Amino acid sequence: MLKASYEVLQPAGNHSFLVRTFGKTGFAAPYHFHPEYELTWIVQGSGKRYAGSNMADFSAGDLVLLGPHVPHCWKLQPGLKNGPAARSIVIQFTPDFLGGDFFSKAELANIRQLFQRSGSGIQFLNNTQKQVQAQVRELAAEKNNFKKLVRLLEILQQLAVSKEYLLLDQQRLIAELSPANQTRISPIFAYLVENFRKEVSLNQAAAIAGMTPNAFCKYFKRITRKTFMETVIEYRINYAAQQLIQSDKSISDICYDSGFGDVSHFYKMFKTRMEISPLHYRQEFGAL
């Protein structure tokens, strides 16, 4: 049964946190989750970022902090010239990586609040993004273990006091769920992430959730506030919009590549959601 993969992370040499650099193959990771916080900086590459119930474009410079158990993955845009050179730096650490009550101290109140927000996923913007990118680069290059730890705390404090951020799941759909509901809904989003460009089956999604189709439809709408098919269409339109801007594929090719089986239906759904036709969207925002 398809599910959001559970990733087991183990810092080497008794270190308290992980700092890793990934090339193109790192972006092939499936939709997954783990109990660690994760700060990801996209050094180079572009495509789609999936975090909890949120799907959005990413490009070089993307800087995101995710809380524990938030399912996620970054998928590269296929066929782009910068694809083979894609690279990211990822920092991962457990909530208690410096001890169970370290972040309960008064001096660390801002970081504690940052951690609370991270359950929604946080994208950092503008000057904060630029400043922290430089700090992450220095951290990744640092050889002294003590200085690496100090640099991480400085990065967390910089993020904690910043007002330049966007919550990815602003309604906290995933963050507010009980552990049992998180366990049940995450495999559904994993199924969508990996299959929305193909034929998506309501019966298959219901089976993954261990429910009847009727019960699943009610459950999914109660959790996400959208129907299952509305979510599928949203994923497809979002992907198509990116293709219209970043590729020179024909609109019919984009239609089929995004999971639609009929061009006229694609035009209708795109215009309903975006309030503009695919052709005019491409003309307005420009294609490669």
220 and 144 in a single domain? The answer is no
Give, for all 288 residues of the chain, the pLDDT tens digit: 344 555 555 665 567 899 999 998 888 888 888 889 999 999 999 999 999 888 899 999 999 999 998 889 999 987 654 445 899 999 999 999 999 899 999 999 999 999 999 999 999 999 999 999 999 999 999 999 999 999 999 999 999 999 999 999 876 677 677 888 888 888 899 899 989 999 999 999 999 999 999 999 999 999 888 999 999 999 999 999 988 988 889 999 999 999 999 999 999 999 999 999 999 999 888 644
| Same domain, yes or no: 156 and 191 | no
CATH of residue 273's domain is: 1.10.10.60
Residues 160 and 204 in one domain: no
Strands (E), 30-86: 32-33, 37-44, 47-51, 54-58, 63-66, 72-76
131 lies in some domain: yes
| Residues 124 and 214 placed together within one structural domain of the fold | no
119 and 222 both lie in a single domain: no
> Token digits for 202?
């309501």
Say which DSSP state 28 is in: G
Strand partners, 65: 39, 122
- pLDDT at position 200 is 93
Count, residues in the chain: 288
CB neighbour class for 81 (10 Å; exposed up to 12, middle 13-18, buried from 19): exposed
The answer to whether position 61 is within a domain reads: yes
Alpha-carbon gap, residue 210 to 29, rounded angstroms: 25
- CB contact at 8 A, 55 and 235: yes
Which of 121, 146, 167 marks a domain boundary? 167
Q: Are residues 32 and 155 in the same domain?
A: yes
The residue range of the domain holding 61 is 5-167
- 215 in the same domain as 146: no
Three-class SS of 245-277: HHCCCCHHHHHHHCCCCCHHHHHHHHHHHHCCC
Residue 32's domain is classified under what CATH number? 2.60.120.10
pLDDT score recorded for residue 178 = 80
Question: Both 29 and 138 in a single domain?
Answer: yes
Residues 127 and 44 in one domain: yes
The C-alpha R_g of the chain, in whole angstroms, comes to 20
Q: Per the domain annotation, does 173 fall within a domain?
A: no
82 domain-assigned: yes
Q: What per-residue confidence (pLDDT) applies to 69?
A: 86
Query: Structural domain tally of the chain?
Result: 2
Tell me: do 19 and 151 sit in the same domain: yes
Looking at the structure, tell me whether residues 20 and 154 fall in a common domain: yes
Of 167, 194, 210, the one marking the end of a domain is 167
Domain end, chosen from 124, 141, 167, is at: 167
- In sequence order, what are the residues at sequence separation of 6 or more whose Cβ sits closer than 8 angstroms to the Cβ of residue 93? 16, 17, 18, 36, 37, 152
Establish if 47 belongs to a structural domain: yes
Residue 83 in domain? yes
* Residue ranges with strand state E in 140-195: 165-167
174 falls within a domain: no
- The answer on 160 and 186 residing in a single domain is no
> 52 in a domain, yes or no?
yes
- pLDDT for 1: 37
Q: What is this structure's pTM?
A: 0.82
